[in-house]
Structure 1
């Protein structure tokens, strides 16, 4: 069942307020604001957040209601616990390190790649080939992880590239010789 049909429960240690078209969530890990589109209504009753489309005949209004529901759930989990993504660098000579608030990544190019780390996120490198990204906003953490992964996506022939932790790909066979 979709989150829209369910009611999103607000945990005890989270404060939720609606100001104009903005939902403010404040928890032990930080504060997040979410702008609510005009086609969706969000109400807070006791300890529940109710999200409904304004026009139930419009497909866009219904789909936006589902999207906002999921974003509210992600933001709630972010202000309670940090969101964490881990990336693995697989390949000979692939390594990463953090310098000031830039991430330096060597993934087989003739030059190092630098990615600016936003101030609301923290990046750690363990054992030179494992990058951990932490933050309270799931969209910001996921965006940075996808930027890093875009440098060298997983390659299906040799199994090299930047992988999400635990991701497995099926290796393709190379060309066969003539028979």
Structure 2
């Protein structure tokens, strides 16, 4: 007996799904999927950081955390020329400091050595990253989903803090639109002479925003705002808060743009 083409194809489809389900039971493939389970290798990457950044790991458990999830966590302190940050580390995350084999030479000493040396070719090939310090992150059990998720997250947070205290983060906001502008004015209710950010972006009244502590706000012009700080999350969140009052729209391409943000122009709807 010959089967109809649509019935035959549906049977083949169900057979393939059954094979995938049996493979999933052995941990080789995901249910109803033709691809293998993705593995994140972010946590395995070695973190390199310069010698002007100091990292200390306090193994004392946190007994009274501000957030309940940080109970029994340890504390990682990241210090640099621009500031200091602390990060709670889960008990199952292990941090290992790796000593560099090459001795540390400051940029001034390296420049002096290059001026006094006759062999300039070898000095040109010195990789400054070879003088960096290193640390690695591991977890107790890679099969536990929570540990695997926090593995990469913790590694990214530490890397962001290292960049923040050594180089800092900077976000540029551009105002595009007739009459759109910003200004810094003193807060009349503040005793510390703190300034507020006033936005004029098409409302009947100016939008007044308090600048969070830890963020430096500069205005090169009335249509540009430069935010800088050591905390990447804090800087980008404040930039997003400013942007939400006039997000870019595609028809006239007006609004508040962050860094090199662009938007594709749409044609207006014609009746």
| Fold shared per TM-score above 0.5 | yes
Determine the structure 2 residue equivalent to 1:30: 83
Task: Note the alpha carbon deviations across 1:56-90, whole angstroms, 9 max, x for none.
Answer: 11122112110111111111111111210001011
- 1:141-160 aligned at under 5 Å gives the runs 141-160=235-254
C-alpha displacement of 1:176:
2.5
C-alpha displacement of 1:39:
4.3
| Greater RCO, 1 or 2 (C-alpha within 8 Å, sep 6+) | 1
- 1:79-158 aligned at under 5 Å gives the runs 79-100=165-186, 101-158=195-252
Unpaired segments of 5 or more residues in structure 1? none
Distance 1:75 1:114 in 2: 29
Determine the structure 1 residue equivalent to 2:47: 8
* 1:131–1:55 distance in 2 versus 1, CA, 3 Å: same
Normalized per residue, which structure has more helix?
A: 2
Between 1:153-162 and 1:49-58, the stretch displaced more is: 49-58
Distance 1:78 1:66 in 2: 18
C-alpha displacement of 1:35:
1.5
Query: Is the CA contact (8 Å cut-off) linking 1:93 and 1:107 kept in structure 2?
Result: yes
Query: Is the CA contact (8 Å cut-off) linking 1:88 and 1:164 kept in structure 2?
Result: yes
Q: Give SS of 1:151's match.
A: coil
Task: Kindly tell me the number of residue pairs found equivalent between the two proteins.
Answer: 177
- 1:47-58 aligned at under 5 Å gives the runs 47-58=133-144
Distance 2:87 2:259 in 1: 29
- Aligned pair partner of 1:40 in 93, 110, 120: 93
Q: Give SS of 2:239's match.
A: helix
1:171 aligns with 2:240: no
1:73 aligns with 2:73: no
Distance 2:84 2:94 in 1: 21
Query: Is the CA contact (8 Å cut-off) linking 1:78 and 1:137 kept in structure 2?
Result: yes
Q: Give SS of 2:44's match.
A: coil
Distance 1:142 1:36 in 2: 23
* 1:148–1:39 distance in 2 versus 1, CA, 3 Å: farther
Determine the structure 1 residue equivalent to 2:102: none
Q: Give SS of 2:244's match.
A: helix
C-alpha displacement of 1:104:
0.6
Query: Is the CA contact (8 Å cut-off) linking 1:89 and 1:163 kept in structure 2?
Result: yes
Determine the structure 1 residue equivalent to 2:58: 19
TM-score by length of 1: 0.92
Unpaired segments of 5 or more residues in structure 2? 1-39, 60-73, 100-132, 187-194
